[in-house]
Structure 1
């Protein structure tokens, strides 16, 4: 048993305790404000147009640089997280978007606000990679998937809070306070997270066994387990770690993992944007008033929390792999039924079901499955690459949706969603590994290609 496996086995044997819940709370708090910062854009941009501080073109630039920053942040966090550690990186990116949010609250013009939004985007894109990846390395295998779905549920509640506070604050106090709330909240969490330990799995993967041993012993004590009660097959020893390289993600050993991770995040972001972000527009184009459209949309989006709860129930039973496959297919079924919904009740029911499926996929994929696909020394780079490509595609999706809707209507958009989900289901089913109830070390133990031994040739 190597050092990393021994450390992982000790973390996986621990009972759930206050340590795990506190860790979840600290990571969730940072990612909550990260998500809150994303969702306040709609209310803020509307207020800027109303006050004549911005134009539609500048608002579009604001949205675009957000996605560009998130794409860059996802990639950067992967590189930094695997090189300098989880603790350094999640503090670094939280500080970036915390200070940038406060700067945005003081921005003297829309052009400065766009610049600060770009910087915020870097921090926001990084948080989703580091947060989910870090949580996965501490939680015991039997609970890892469920903790990921709970974290996803907590983060998604920021959508409601951002909309509510925007309605409550902006008309009376202005849009700047929204960025101030996000920035101050992020910096408070930054201070609280200073006490979070480094990931012992990452330390062990870097050959820093003594540091990993010390942290694990402390965690065991907090969980009521004697640090001396675990007997490893081999004594822990300092080792010289072989540097992991980005190109290893495309080696024969990990290529299918990388393809799987990219597929599920491109699929998730595409379907999420195509339906969730565009459904009010679709309803208006179908003849509903703006007020009625927003009301119907609100009822449809109530399926989100239910989706996260379903994912929580299935994460360790059905598993992440087959959960993604099943709900991709279920989503196709509900999607195909949507164009045939005529009454408002039928439209709400179909939209509710589709939203529910999207959030099941979100909880199982970005929150749980993708961080598990890669070995510890490449975990954040792998997740960062997948998120960066997913965000990059997200920049192009709006143009594709607009073109498909203009040419083929809602049927064309639903067909695009169904095709994306079908491709995802096929790829995950055929090459994706199952990760439920397995240690991260077991999942990462991908057999190396068998080299054919050279044969002696007699001439």
Structure 2
């Protein structure tokens, strides 16, 4: 394969953490926080809409499904646009889309108009999740990638607690429209600030744009180095492959990675949007007043930021595969015992632990594992197709939740979620690869296959313990 000689991966991975990395993190994290806030505000808003008579369960289901149809399309388009036109184009376009549509939602005259505005919001929301994690993974050195990727997930999932807290304060006094106004204003501010973000040198290198990649790398090295001598880079060449078909994601080299990524996001999307996002509505339908419902939910969702913060330590210290397997099974167990408790303290504690466990998985999977699975020239589309699979499940999840809750109560809902989490654990165990602290270029299928073949060859060359080789004469 042809290489450019730019060595973007090696040069980026040898850089010490500096102000440049914090700036990249802050601008990406701000966008993901607004994205998460806008996604998670649905739980508080829909409970209020039901209580006020503005909506009902069926319309709430259409609202959530419209969100996920938009997010599905947005995730796929972000993958295509990010690999074709660059990371910078993708992450600016999506912010503009969901910022403007959130402001439009504040003026919605009916629930049908609000559902339509939510669909457009979903286009930008789905794209932001794909782009943000991919972009950060391409700038942060592998030794710190676990901590920083999980910290980025904290920006997204910490928004669950903040959205619930703000909803608890704002909705009863100012109404639900102000929640969308806050999102729209925040998105437009971040869009303006993010214009200074650089293009990914790793992407430029795979597109054969050597001069542009060199210019961006030189500027980054000058900013980080500030006159100091930087460590010598390892040689981590990336092949020039500007026109790789997305069908390669289904080739023998990548099909297992594509499957495990899809299964993980199907399981996690169902856990978040099939249970956590519906908690306030479940409480209201069970006769708990809106204020108490939002208060209980706020306490439970405190597990989200704490979980993703814990993911920073786990992502740094413990391998990805065993972490995801154990957490999947733990969340499944917590989900199954949740309906057994009727005491408010007990179900808030179990609910908190469930949200905490899911949040750790979100940090490890969305923030780290999914972008690590795919090579640079397919990273956006690989992440996009995994997110698309998750969104496909999320589209039908609200209707399944309504049916299960109507027939079997909360027990039916959490049983289905638990089953999917068990399947997730099996998929990671059988099909997953280990990625912790490895350069992205070293995770390319051909590199890992070469390492496996070399290790196998070395094993065959090891002397036996008997006969002449074992020291016999």
- What range is the shorter-chain TM-score in? 0.7 to 0.9
Matching residue of 1:254: 254
State the Cα deviation string for residues 346-366 of structure 1 (Å, max 9, x = none): 333322222211111111111
What is the aligned-residue RMSD (CA, Å)? Answer: 3.1
Matching residue of 2:37: 36
C-alpha separation between the residues in 2 aligned to 1:353 and 1:424?
A: 19
**Equivalent residues in 2 for 1:416-435, closer than 5 Å:** 416-435=416-435
Q: CA deviation at 1:295?
A: 4.3
2:335 aligned with 1:348: no
C-alpha separation between the residues in 2 aligned to 1:169 and 1:70?
A: 26
Which is worse superposed, 15-24 or 333-342?
Answer: 333-342
Aligned length: 449
C-alpha separation between the residues in 2 aligned to 1:46 and 1:337?
A: 24
Structure 1 residues 83 and 300 mapped into 2: Cα distance closer, same or farther (>3 Å)? same
C-alpha separation between the residues in 1 aligned to 2:203 and 2:9?
A: 10
> Structure 2 length normalisation: TM-score?
0.85
Q: Which runs of 5+ in 2 are unaligned?
A: 451-473
Matching residue of 1:179: 180
C-alpha separation between the residues in 2 aligned to 1:176 and 1:408?
A: 33
Which is worse superposed, 99-108 or 64-73?
Answer: 99-108
**Equivalent residues in 2 for 1:428-447, closer than 5 Å:** 428-446=428-446
- The answer to whether the 8 A contact 1:5-1:441 is kept is no
> Structure 1 length normalisation: TM-score?
0.87
**Equivalent residues in 2 for 1:75-224, closer than 5 Å:** 75-107=76-108, 109-170=110-171, 173-224=174-225
Which is worse superposed, 157-166 or 254-263?
Answer: 157-166
Structure 1 residues 292 and 59 mapped into 2: Cα distance closer, same or farther (>3 Å)? closer
- The answer to whether the 8 A contact 2:307-2:357 is kept is yes
- The answer to whether the 8 A contact 2:308-2:363 is kept is yes
Matching residue of 1:357: 357
Q: CA deviation at 1:437?
A: 0.3
State the Cα deviation string for residues 173-196 of structure 1 (Å, max 9, x = none): 554443332222211111111110
State the Cα deviation string for residues 148-171 of structure 1 (Å, max 9, x = none): 111111222323333444454455
Q: CA deviation at 1:329?
A: 2.0
Q: Which runs of 5+ in 1 are unaligned?
A: 451-459
Structure 1 residues 417 and 154 mapped into 2: Cα distance closer, same or farther (>3 Å)? same
C-alpha separation between the residues in 1 aligned to 2:333 and 2:78?
A: 37
Q: CA deviation at 1:339?
A: 4.3
- The answer to whether the 8 A contact 2:254-2:445 is kept is no
State the Cα deviation string for residues 253-288 of structure 1 (Å, max 9, x = none): 110010010011001111223331344565677786
Structure 1 residues 277 and 199 mapped into 2: Cα distance closer, same or farther (>3 Å)? same
Matching residue of 1:456: none
State the Cα deviation string for residues 85-115 of structure 1 (Å, max 9, x = none): 0001101111111122223334455444333
